[in-house]
Structure 1
Amino acid sequence: MVNGIPIFKHWVPEWAIKIILFSLILPTLVLFFLPFANINAAAGFYGSEPADIQFSVALFYAGYVGFYSLERRFFRYLAAKEYFVIFTVLEILTTLACYHTNELYILFPVRFFQGMLFSSTVNLSLSLMFTRLHSERAREISFSVFFGMLICILPFSNLVTADLIDSYDFNWVYKVALFSYLPCLCSIMACMNNVRLNVRFPLYKLDWQSFVYWSLILTLLGYVTIYGQEYYWLEDTRIFYSVLAIAVSVIIYIARQKSMKRPYLDLEIFRFRNFRFAIFLIFVLYICRFAMNVTNSFFASVLRLDPMHISYINSFNLAGLIVGVIISCAMILQKKSIRWIWFPGFLLLLGFHMVMFFLFNTEANEDNFYLPLLVQGLGVGIILVPTIIYAISSVSVAAGPSATSICSTMGYIGFCASAAVINFCELYEKSRHYNAFQDHLTKVDNAARQVLLLHSGNLLSKGLPLKQSGRGASKLLVNAVNKQVQIRFAMDYYELMSVMLIVTLLLIVFFPYLNRTVIYLRSRRLSPA
């Protein structure tokens, strides 16, 4: 209820309201990381490179993070039901545009706009949810449920869409998402009263300039980190001018925020030491989270698993995420020390990376990876929600929305940094290892000659002519080298992640101010998106 007026009609049961609120978020959550469900199928459909598909996800993420603060003005101006109908219709139109296009110059701006609409979806759904919750316990459980859904959506999306993408064109998933919006729209129009969650705030003096600068910074950051290694960083004029534009925009943005009475983002929150440490951990966590892309690449290129089997294996990671969120929620409610949440969480992530370092091989059974993937999900699930609540609790209630926005921004920066490090290791380290193998694999090398003779003999026994068997043997040797290069790249990356996690654990142990903040949500009006 808002000011004594029920948000939903009296005949709607409580369980139905909860289903409606979560169904508002789910279709857009699936669209978030949808291109990652089968990145090769998406690249083939759009006639692009995998980097372009990564960038389409970054644009969605940038639209979500960039529009968050400006969206609150529209949220206060429109009634809840009216607002929902508007952005749901827009989401249907953008999904229809994605279904009918295979051109990147159309897809990219549409994906950014979908990210903006995702921000609206999250704010409305969670505000409706939070206004119904009167106890601290209920608010923290709902907070955990939302962010649990957010971190689970990548393996969940892969699981539910892998079969569909394998059977139809990639854009069929957009068609399914298109129809999934209709039940939500009909339910809200039938069940919801036309009430306001806030006093109507006129749409004058919209700070759209800050939104433009902030979105430009985020978009260019994604462009630089995703395409930088491919274009040799600052040697390419596109990357050089993008970095220059980021630097100029940051300077203008900071100067503008400091001069404004009501800034787009309250930069004073960076004065809180606990907040700075919390967002650093969020940054580290998101880098570790997207290290799963390396594991999935290993499954596909070395073990030759198809996307459906990869999604089935990742269901163990999904189970770990769910269990981890439940455990962290229970620890928050029991007011456990934040050290006893962070330390075991990051220790589980370190264990996952160290175990996977030794599991990377040219041949392996699928069941060898079940437990490590479960442990990785468990670690991420334990860490994420308490860290975000800790960051918000470190600042004043009035600065809570800015703190939440920065937490989302650090998640985006972690995503971009992960893409940059993976691309660097994949393009640079793989070429380095490939050249090292080439130095030894010559026709006078005894090991290489034995392998070529073995492959050639196998091909001859299967009926190939002598000349073709020699070519086939050389091709099989090159494929074996490529597998070894992929394994070495994955091992190098996970070794780097292990070092980063060891440093993080040492910081957690020796950081002297961790227990000065009690982690709980103090505001019922907080929208945690």
Structure 2
Amino acid sequence: MHTILFRRWVPIWMRLLCIFTLAITTMLFNGTYMGSSIDISSTLGVLKEDITMAYYATSVGMAAAYPMVPKMRSLISTKTILLLDLLLQILLSLTCANTSLMGVIIVCSFLIGFLKAFVMMELILMLRPIFSPANERSEFYSYFYPLVFSVSQMALVLTAWVAYNFQWQYMYYLVVVLALLSITQVLICFRYSKIGLRFPFAEIDWLSFWGVACSLLLFIYVVTYGKLYDWFDSNQILVGFVVAIVVVYLTVMRQVGVKNPYLRLDVFSYSKAIVAYLFMVLVMFVAGSSTLVSQYVNSILATGNLHANSLNFWLIPGFVVGGLICFWFFRLQIIRFRYLVFFGMMCFSVYLAMIYWGVAPNGTYEYLFFPMFMRGLGMMVLFIAFGVYAVEGMDPKLMIYNAFFLVAFRSALAPAFSASFYNNMLYRLQEKYVSRLGETLIAQNPIAMERYNAKLSAAIGQGHSFEESTAIAMKSLYSSVYMQATLLSIKEIIGYILLLCLIVGVVAAFIPFHKTLKVKVEEGGEDMV
């Protein structure tokens, strides 16, 4: 593969440098970066929900593009795809950096994800001989998944650092510089190909493509803006939900009725694929509890956005260890698959248990390092395990459609739904506990009066008037109530999710995922995302 792509004079080390530069650059492409969401929101005067919508639009664009990628690869050379894609990504990134219109950013985010799918497919084919010379899916995933997820976490931290020390737009400029470097490498090192440039417009079912994309975007719109617009009391949310259902129905009917559907729904005739999708959704739902950890770090520990995002660095060692465990698990096959699933769920349980018993007003930032490591370990083990499990026994012709469903569930729908769930639950529980704790702020409560009098005396001692001192003391008292309400809310949600993980882990330990201890080693393919 590499001999075909690169010029003869290019040494091995330079080929590897080109491939990994391309890989890192492509993984960094995004319409919005969540690490700088606060800075973007304050600078542009937009809602955090707008930024979240743009972020998930990238994943939707990427998922929706996958079914058409094989048709493109047969008509356009790798070098042409890379050059055109990178050039368009530069234009879109510069647009995102210089516009103040969130509508434009959301559209650009979708297009960035769409273009990203084509380069990712090329990268998979280039990395496959490096990560798995024997073309084993489990071996490839054990290297590829830790790389992809580690780069995404480093991007989160890097974005927060750039926004804190410079401006949030500089992240786009950094990616543009990397893209220009990648273009230079492709021009110099890749072979010239005589394959012409022909886009197969007539061969693609564009109606189905837009049906798939619009239905995903509408569902994400509903769960992202639901809290803001008071859910189904809002006509916007109600109409969005109904339209999403209608579009899904029409799109499914079209796939069933046409001879060459855009999406092959035969994927759902494989029970292993369905089980894998359900577990992927569950993993992302549990991993989404990081929203609560961020709330704790920002509101209780008050460390700031940069430190809150820097916690994600501690996921990376977990990803690496998880990749190693899966590599040897699938290589040796001396333990049943269900125990690997049990292990992954127990990693999540340890993470949640440490958060449940460790969050406190006097907690420390460093205490969160090991729980984050365990979260990364559990995520990686389960992602690799069910990434392999989903395609066992599947028709190779359906695997590219499996890639669509994996990306749609894992990277778009599940994280959007989980973030919405945690934000809404936190908001409702905070209201409940603020109301309950507020009822205790009476003169007959000695603890409340002691704190009130201490703050009042301190404020008067600082030279404030009695009225100002009273306001300062009351504000301090209610801040304490809000902090306690937030802690109680986080603990309650985490407690329920911990019980869910324990139950699923124990049940999984008794599910016969395979009839035998050793199973056939699945080969790699174009769908390995």
TM-score normalised by structure 2 residue count: 0.93
Where in structure 2 are the equivalents of 1:266-345 lying within 5 Å? 266-335=264-333, 336-345=335-344
Which sits farther off after the overlay, 92-101 or 33-42? 33-42
RMSD of equivalent CA atoms:
2.4
Q: Residue deviations 1:123-150, cap 9 Å, x none?
A: 1211233367774366543333332233
Indicate the larger mover: 100-109 or 511-520: 511-520
TM superposition shift of 1:241: 0.8
Name 1:493's counterpart in structure 2: 493
User: Relative to structure 1, is the Cα distance of residues 340 and 34 closer, same or farther in structure 2, using a 3 angstrom cutoff?
Assistant: farther
Question: How do residues 439-450 of structure 1 correspond to structure 2 at under 5 angstroms?
Answer: 439-450=439-450
Tell me, what secondary structure is at the counterpart of 1:518? Answer: coil
Shift in Å, 1:198 = 13
Return the letter of the residue paired with 1:401. I
Please tell me whether residue 164 in structure 1 is matched to residue 162 in structure 2. Answer: yes
CA distance in 1, matches of 2:244, 2:329: 40
Aligned residue for 1:92, secondary structure, equals helix
Measured in 2, the distance between the counterparts of 1:225 and 1:143 equals 31
Residue 376 (structure 2) aligns with: 377
* Residue 392 (str. 1) matches residue 391 (str. 2): yes
User: Structure 1 residue 455 and structure 2 residue 455: aligned?
Assistant: yes
Distance in 2 separating the partners of 1:489 and 1:68: 40
Provide structure 1 residue ranges, at least 5 long, that are not aligned to the other structure: none
Determine whether 1:364 maps to 2:351. Answer: no
Q: Distance in 2 between matches of 1:265 and 1:423?
A: 33
Counterparts of 1:52-201 in structure 2, within 5 Å, are 52-130=50-128, 135-136=133-134, 140-195=138-193
Instruction: Give me the whole-angstrom Cα distance separating, in 2, the residues matched to 1:113 and 1:322.
Output: 31
* Equivalent-residue separation in structure 1 for 2:481 and 2:192 (angstroms): 64
The letter for the 2-side match of 1:228 is G
Percent identical among aligned pairs is 17
Determine the C-alpha separation between the residues in 2 that align with 1:141 and 1:197. Answer: 32
Aligned to 1:46: 44
Shift of 1:213: 0.4
2:306 counterpart letter in structure 1: M
1:406 aligned partner: 405
Deviation larger for 91-100 or 149-158:
149-158
How far apart, in 1, do the equivalents of 2:283 and 2:195 lie?
A: 34
CA 1:275–1:518 in structure 2 vs 1: closer, same or farther (change >3 Å)? farther
Equivalent-residue separation in structure 1 for 2:396 and 2:250 (angstroms)? 27
Does the 8 A contact of 1:95 with 1:178 survive in 2? yes
Q: 1:501 to 1:514 in 2, by over 3 A?
A: farther
Q: Tell me the amino acid that sits aligned with residue 396 of structure 1.
A: D
- Residue 235 of structure 1 and its aligned partner are, at CA, apart by 1.4
Q: Name the CA shift for 1:33/1:156 in 2 (closer, same or farther; >3 Å).
A: farther
Displacement of 1:75 in angstroms is 2.6
Checking the alignment, whether the CA contact within 8 Å between 1:328 and 1:385 is kept in structure 2 is yes
Query: Which stretch shows the higher mean deviation, 249-258 or 511-520?
Result: 511-520
Shift of 1:212: 0.3
Match of 2:20 in 1: 22
Match for residue 417 of structure 1? 417
Answering whether residue 209 of structure 2 is matched by residue 208 of structure 1, we say no
**Distance in 1 of aligned mates of 2:397 and 2:508:** 28
- Take 2:193 and 2:330, find their aligned partners in 1: how far apart are those partners? 33
Provide the residue aligned with 1:520 in structure 2: 521
Indicate conservation of the 8 Å contact 1:38/1:165, yes or no: yes
Kindly provide the CA deviation profile for residues 159-179 of structure 1, in whole angstroms up to 9, marking residues without a partner as x.
223321112221121111111
**CA drift at 1:219:** 0.3
- The Cα shift of 1:210 comes to 0.8
CA 1:70 to 1:446, structure 2 compared with 1: closer, same or farther past 3 Å? same
Distance apart, 1:519 and its partner CA: 6.2
State which drifts further: 243-252 or 289-298.
289-298
Could you tell me how far 1:527 is from its partner in structure 2? 3.4
For residues 337 and 417 of structure 2, what CA distance do their matches in structure 1 show? 26
Gap change, CA 1:33 and 1:491, over 3 Å in 2: farther
Quick one: distance in 2 between partners of 1:255 and 1:473? 63
Q: Aligned in 2, Cα 1:141/1:184: closer, same or farther, shift over 3 Å? A: farther
Q: One-letter code of the match for 1:425?
A: M
1:82–1:194 Cα contact (<8 Å) kept: no
Q: Give the stretch that moved more between structures: 301-310 or 192-201.
A: 192-201
Structure 2 residues without counterparts, runs of 5 or longer:
none
Question: How far does residue 354 in structure 1 lie from its aligned partner after superposition?
Answer: 1.6
State how far apart, in whole Å, the 1-side matches of 2:130 and 2:308 are: 39
TM-score norm. by structure 1 comes to 0.93
